Amino acid sequence: MEINNILSWTAQKPLIIAGPCSAETEEQLLNTCQAIVKQTGTNILRAGIWKPRTRPNQFEGVGEVGLQWFSKVRKELKTPIATEVANAQQVELALKYGVDVLWIGARSTVNPFTVQEIADALKGVDIPVIIKNPVNPDLALWQGAIERINKAGIKQIAALHRGFSTFEKTDYRNPPMWQIALELKTAMPDLPLFCDPSHITGKRDMILKVAQKAMDLNYDGLMIETHIEPDKAWSDASQQVTPIRLGEILKELVIREKTSDDPDFRDHLVELRQRIDTIDREIVEHLAARMEVVRKLGDYKKDKNVAMFQVDRLLEILQSRSDWAEKMNMNKNFVGLLYKQIHEESIRIQTAR
């Protein structure tokens, strides 16, 4: 899959996309974007023109007139603009008004029919497309949407991590489940990966922390919802920041380098990685030895006509190993999960014999 680098738009990393959740009025859009451009190092301005709202009778976006305002803003501020498209007609209108970057929202990425409709509308067009993760934590659906857009001939693609919906009560509006985004990056290493801390947190005072985590994980860009008067916003008021606050957030962020110029860095990194390699080798050797004993145990149980799976034994293993982990200052849930998997494999080995 060929993905041109939309990062080449700017030498600076992270790429910053900022602007209001929704275009509301010409004045709100212009004032917000002017302040953003003046006060921050934002590369691309964003605004939602058509808003996918969870329930009806909420503000659903201003529609085409917003594109007229936005294209004026683009001309006046000489800054590229981005908006969300969710069907072929919206793609057509966005292109007509000279929108520079399109994004596909989380509620569209979940639906292959929608993504295909957008992909078909984009055939023969050369425009960067940012693909948000689907609402539900499904990596294949995210990859599938990227592939559909890429197959339509779009080469400039980035993925945007905006968190996932969940039944659980958490501090986040959409818990990040970082592992899913990192798995995407592992499967598609050339794909630029951006983070949207606004939709992940839903709260403006948590945005810096999540944006920093994205920088620690080597993300390539950020999309941050910014509004001239956040509390008066017609959508997503609690997560939007002022342009001044956006400037502060971007200044406070510690940008990690991919590597370091320190002459000792490489040596030290190599040494630490070698230590990890040695320990991992030992872990695998120990697992092999454990499974060898498991095989003997399985044969013995069979010999004595005893069932392979004993729930008491599993519970005892999970409890004791988690307790050991806690005493050794480790995350007991992690070790519990690890032992669930180890035990599953033990039972598979015993019952397969």
Q: Which residues bind ligand PEP (CB under 6 A)?
A: 21, 48, 52, 105-107, 132, 162, 199
| Nearest of 295, 267, 312, 274 to residue 351 by alpha carbon | 295
In whole angstroms, give the CA distance from residue 30 to residue 84: 18
Stretch that binds Mn ion, among 13-21, 39-47, 97-105, 163-171 (CB under 5 A): 13-21
Query: Site for Mn ion (CB under 5 A): which residue of 6, 16, 21, 191?
Result: 21
Residue 81: strand, helix, or coil: strand
> Is the Cβ of residue 52 or residue 153 nearer to ligand PEP in the bound state?
52
- The reply to whether 236 sits near Mn ion by the rule CB under 5 A is yes
**Closest separation between CB of residue 18 and ligand PEP, Å?**
11
In whole angstroms, give the CA distance from residue 23 to residue 61: 7
Cα–Cα distance list, 21 to 11, 155, 197, 279 (Å): 26, 26, 13, 48
> Is the Cβ of residue 108 or residue 242 nearer to ligand PEP in the bound state?
108
- Type of residue found at 286: H
The residue with its CB nearest to ligand PEP is 105
> Is the Cβ of residue 24 or residue 236 nearer to Mn ion in the bound state?
236
Stretch that binds Mn ion, among 18-26, 100-108, 132-140, 276-284 (CB under 5 A): 18-26
Stretch that binds Mn ion, among 9-17, 93-101, 234-242, 265-273 (CB under 5 A): 234-242
Pair of tokens at residue 21: 């959740």
In whole angstroms, give the CA distance from residue 350 to residue 353: 6
In whole angstroms, give the CA distance from residue 39 to residue 21: 19
**Cβ 22 vs Cβ 233: under 8 Å:** yes
Neighbour tally for 68: CB within 10 Å: 13
Stretch that binds Mn ion, among 87-95, 205-213, 216-224, 231-239 (CB under 5 A): 231-239
Residues 6+ apart with CB under 8 A from 345: 291
Our measurement of the distance from residue 203's CA atom to the centroid of its chain's CA atoms, rounded to an integer in Å, reads: 17
106 binds, among Mn ion, ligand PEP, none (CB under 5 to 8 A by kind): ligand PEP
321 binds, among Mn ion, ligand PEP, none (CB under 5 to 8 A by kind): none
**Closest separation between CB of residue 190 and ligand PEP, Å?**
23
> Is the Cβ of residue 202 or residue 336 nearer to Mn ion in the bound state?
202
Residues in contact with Mn ion by CB under 5 A are: 21, 236
